[in-house]
Structure 1
């Protein structure tokens, strides 16, 4: 029997409202009654050394799910060609770090439709450390970064995937045109507290993250500790990547954090998502 079990439901009829009033259709995770719309999907977590069982329930077309960065065998890795399609996945989480899960059938479109969520593996003892023996933290936040191309939802019978022209830029599924104040995104901490910020890029452009001038260290990449932490002024993250940032503010105040989404070819800023870091 698995140490951790999760049951996730899917829904194919929901929308989220953007800053300009446009409703963007999504295929979110939901509750067992199909009433809630959870976008991104719920945070899943386990400790190093634990076995995990995740079951997906839905009345949609067949989907497979991939736990990005988790070392799983082929039947539990969400490979679309795996047959029969599985509803339940079992795997061992043997390395603390930042991961995520997403639909692996027609990933390009289904990821845009919101079929993804964060996954965090903690040290074996469940302590507030980035990994066993790693740096400690007082609080942690997860930022899932992504963009929306509304036209992909209007083109029938299917979108032209060669042209991605997003008009909305998100953190944790919320439009960041105006600063995002949601408690799971806007960071609040005491001066001197170490905050672990887990970045996951579920979009397609380059995401450039800055923390309002606060210094930080990049301590892990793609679920693996860096041998030597880096201390850049900003960090760029490509599609599918994850970075763990450790920031310890010392001066009280409010700092404007932002994610600029850059064009792959010109590096022009296509759009931004904003939030705040409040240091008490």
Structure 2
């Protein structure tokens, strides 16, 4: 039985702009139209160009989202981590250069006006004050949603961590602190001593020669779906990574050397953490690339959260539960997925961590990154 065809009918003139928004998002800037008194104010600027230094002293051009209030670590890749206590009302002052941009607070789900998805609202022209209030503690991230496939690859993203609303929050990267996890006796908040960030990414050097609007569909409000408006020479459907990254530390495809704390004074200790036997390690993992990534730990762990949601914690996750991940058990994450793991080693040792990168179409393994958890 054939499905009936329901004609769309004539579009009323007053709906045309909304219908075309997916192709031609409007520009907007200035203060938030519905301002409230914030608990926390932060600033971010994009697009800022930096070079990522490779071990052989070569450089790869990157774009990052700058924290203009931090003259020391405000220009880093990945972009500086944002930490916010759960329930805090946030005003994010965002400035844009080199064209329109957005910041999407991935997983936070504020109102469409504050969510930073241009085709559902607008793209920021000049500056805008985003406003949101996170309701669940966990691991999220923020990124530009203009020409998303390219801008995300170029480095316009950073971790967004929502800490529990307990004394001391927001916590310092690396620990100690508290996180959300199933624990009825402690109101679903548990402590950790050390924190790891495993933000796995890849770089296709060809893409890093492109500009802000390259290979975008041309905006024609009168006929947005005209075939002539679509690029015919783009290659953003052809991803061939030749550099692999773990939390800002790069390796070329032919460089098998392990990732260590000595690689970078800022990110190294977060990639190769060290702790004492009996202490608790919280590992926050994000697939920030376009490959399928397989993680394997040489030590038992417990998965306590996925995609920013603490497993088993009511009311939103009451039908899930944390689960044990025995040593040597691989698990895979696709683009934008996050896992939070708790690891409590009972004895000293060096426990390997591997991240394997698989091509999302062919399934071919492209690279294996190796780091370790050191327990003293």
Relative to the length of structure 2, the TM-score reads: 0.69
For structure 2, the 5+ residue unaligned runs are 1-36, 170-176, 182-186, 216-233, 262-267, 312-319
Shift of 1:11: 4.5
Shift of 1:20: 4.1
Change (3 A) 1:84 1:258: closer
Bigger shift: residues 152-161 or 268-277: 152-161
Question: In the alignment, does 2:130 pair up with 1:59?
Answer: no
Distance 2:362 2:154 in 1: 26
Q: Greater helix share, 1 or 2?
A: 2
Shift of 1:134: 3.8
Shift of 1:31: 5.3
Give the conservation status (yes or no) of the 8 Å contact 1:147–1:166: yes
Instruction: Select which of 148, 165, 168 maps to 1:107.
Output: 148
2:269 aligns to what?
183
2:339 aligns to what?
243
Larger radius of gyration: 2
Q: Greater strand share, 1 or 2?
A: 1
Instruction: Select which of 189, 193, 209 maps to 1:154.
Output: 209
Shift of 1:130: 2.5
Give the conservation status (yes or no) of the 8 Å contact 1:175–1:273: no
Distance 1:66 1:84 in 2: 11
Bigger shift: residues 137-146 or 107-116: 137-146
Shift of 1:22: 3.1
Instruction: Select which of 195, 200, 204 maps to 2:281.
Output: 195
1:209 aligns to what?
295
1:76 aligns to what?
114
Shift of 1:37: 3.1
Distance 2:128 2:105 in 1: 13
1:98 aligns to what?
139
Give the conservation status (yes or no) of the 8 Å contact 1:256–1:276: yes
Matches within 5 A, 1:1-280: 1-30=37-66, 32=68, 37-81=75-119, 82-83=121-122, 85=124, 87-125=128-166, 126=169, 128-131=178-181, 132-154=187-209, 158=215, 159-176=234-251, 177=255, 178-180=257-259, 181=261, 182-211=268-297, 213-226=298-311, 227-232=320-325, 233-280=329-376
Distance 1:251 1:236 in 2: 27
How many correspondences in the alignment? 279
Bigger shift: residues 223-232 or 234-243: 223-232
Distance 2:123 2:178 in 1: 39
Bigger shift: residues 34-43 or 157-166: 34-43
Shift of 1:29: 3.0
Distance 1:105 1:84 in 2: 7
Give the conservation status (yes or no) of the 8 Å contact 1:142–1:198: yes
Bigger shift: residues 185-194 or 133-142: 133-142
Change (3 A) 1:238 1:21: same
Distance 1:84 1:164 in 2: 26
Bigger shift: residues 252-261 or 190-199: 252-261
For structure 1, the 5+ residue unaligned runs are none
Shift of 1:147: 0.5
Relative to the length of structure 1, the TM-score reads: 0.91
1:15-35 deviation digits (Å, cap 9, x = unpaired): 112234431111123354999
1:148-180 deviation digits (Å, cap 9, x = unpaired): 000112368545111101011111121144322
Distance 1:155 1:128 in 2: 41
Give the conservation status (yes or no) of the 8 Å contact 1:12–1:60: no
1:239-262 deviation digits (Å, cap 9, x = unpaired): 011111111112212222221111
Bigger shift: residues 19-28 or 63-72: 19-28
